[in-house]
Structure 1
Amino acid sequence: MSACGLQHQPTGNADGKGLLVVYFSKVIELSDTLFFILRKKNSQLTFLHVYHHGTMIFNWWAGVKYVAGGQSFLIGLINSLVHVVMYLYYGLAALGPHMQQYLWWKRYLTSLQLLQFFIVTIHTTYNLFTDCDFPDSMNAVVFAYSLSLITLFRNFYYQSYLTKKSKQT
């Protein structure tokens, strides 16, 4: 076991197969974005949405192909848990307007997404300064990408929840 507590493993192991499932989910998410574009649902398309879904498919392809297991598995696990909560929210919202009273927690969902990126950033930073069996070059990419997502999601949170609240008061 390495200092980071998670070992890099070849794609053929169980972690690698689990990451293929995560990769496939990113293909579905990108398809969802493409359907927004084709249906001209521009109100649902933001830079954050297109950037996130447009880059995740390539990030996960590289993760599965080159560094399956360990750090990649941890990121996939955290991301999958956040997506379960996120799709629960969107599933409830899809049931109709009568569900709105139960959907007061959307801002907390965004907070959960931000927490995910902070955890990944902290773990990746730790891995950069320890003897971790995960390439430093990939840690650097994950670190930079996580910071970009923190910036974009923080801006989304600010625009969606803090500026609207200050306009109401």
Structure 2
Amino acid sequence: MEMNDITSTLQYWLVNHPAILNFTWNPGQTLGSSPHFLTFTVLSYLSLTFMLSHLSLPPIKPSLLKSITAVHSLFLLILSFIMALGCILSIFQAPHLHWIICLPPQTPPKGPLFFWAYIFYISKVIEFIDTLLIILSNSIKRLTFLHVYHHATVVIMCYIWLQTSQSLFPAVLVTNASVHVLMYAYYLSCALGVRPKWKKLVTDCQLVQFYSSFVVLGLMLYYHFTGLGCSGAWSWCFNVVFFASLLALFADFHAKNYGKLKTKMAGATN
């Protein structure tokens, strides 16, 4: 198959397929589009996480848990790659490339870009399984505030994207999905019994993602105030608070984990 054929095939299945091309986010009609669904989902996640983490659950065979983790990680790895690629191809089909940062005012939430925003939103609910797998593995130390806060809040962010036709989401989606390809590749390798040496790289990429988010936030504001405005511009306030909090938490996690590692290595060298 020639490169043009591969490109055309990807373009059809990831952008021009009728289900993608004709997608519309209809509040109260599209699955998961009501505030009641969002509230119930987030509160259920938080309450179940609290209860299950304080219960003595029956042990699961390590081999079975590793198999489940491997399947879960492989699924999200593939899905993350498809979402990143689908969003990139959809961006290049948009009338203007700067739509990746600034959508025109009153942009309706429909078409390929919003289809991938919706799939991304649903994927964040599926990622709640990450927490369940941590609890079932009895690795409660891994169940940090950062982990739970991130999983609960990112669902709200994705809902706001769709509800307000928020600018910036294509850039965030592509970078986040790309980082998740790396992250779930790491989890998959660990589940298969091979622990890669690039765990720190995953956290480093997450930190770079958050730093870059503030750069594109600034660009969006530039487009907003020097042009005709950007769609969902004021909902970016949630993003600023969210990204700032995650940056602080990830930076703290990085310092505690890899700062200690450097200290140990220095001590061993001495």
Q: Shorter chain as normaliser: what TM range?
A: 0.7 to 0.9
Q: Is the 8 A contact 2:207 2:251 kept in 1?
A: yes
How far 1:119 moved relative to its partner?
A: 1.0
How far 1:113 moved relative to its partner?
A: 0.7
TM-score between both structures, scaled by the size of structure 1: 0.85
Q: Is the 8 A contact 1:10 1:16 kept in 2?
A: no
Q: Is the 8 A contact 2:211 2:247 kept in 1?
A: yes
How far 1:3 moved relative to its partner?
A: 8.6
String of CA shifts for 1:93-148, please: whole Å, max 9, x gaps: 1111xx23xx1111111111111111111101222233241333222221221111
Task: Give me the identity figure in percent.
Answer: 30
Residue in 2 that maps onto 1:19: 117
The answer as to 2:103 corresponding to 1:7 is yes
Residue in 2 that maps onto 1:154: 251
1:64 to 162, 165, 180: 162
Q: Which amino acid counterpart does residue 106 of structure 1 have in structure 2? A: K
Alpha-carbon distance in 1 for matches of 2:120, 2:223: 27
Kindly tell me: are residues 23 and 110 of structure 1, through their superposed partners in 2, closer, same or farther at Cα, counting changes over 3 Å?
same
Q: Is the 8 A contact 2:101 2:168 kept in 1?
A: no
How far 1:5 moved relative to its partner?
A: 5.1
Q: Which runs of 5 or more structure 2 residues have no equivalent in the other structure?
A: 1-95
Residue in 1 that maps onto 2:182: 85
Highest CA radius of gyration, 1 or 2? 2
Kindly tell me: are residues 61 and 135 of structure 1, through their superposed partners in 2, closer, same or farther at Cα, counting changes over 3 Å?
closer
Q: Which amino acid counterpart does residue 7 of structure 1 have in structure 2? A: L
Alpha-carbon distance in 1 for matches of 2:207, 2:164: 26
1:30 to 124, 128, 139: 128
Q: Is the 8 A contact 1:117 1:150 kept in 2?
A: yes
Kindly tell me: are residues 141 and 20 of structure 1, through their superposed partners in 2, closer, same or farther at Cα, counting changes over 3 Å?
same
Residue in 2 that maps onto 1:117: 210
Alpha-carbon distance in 1 for matches of 2:99, 2:128: 35
Residue in 2 that maps onto 1:104: 197
Q: Which runs of 5 or more structure 1 residues have no equivalent in the other structure?
A: none
Give the total of aligned pairs: 164
| Segments ≥4 residues shifted beyond 3 Å | 1-6, 34-41
How far 1:66 moved relative to its partner?
A: 1.7
How far 1:50 moved relative to its partner?
A: 0.5
Q: Which amino acid counterpart does residue 53 of structure 1 have in structure 2? A: H
How far 1:33 moved relative to its partner?
A: 1.9
How far 1:37 moved relative to its partner?
A: 4.6
Q: Which amino acid counterpart does residue 81 of structure 1 have in structure 2? A: S
Query: Pairwise CA RMSD of aligned residues?
Result: 2.2
Q: Which amino acid counterpart does residue 200 of structure 2 have in structure 1? A: R
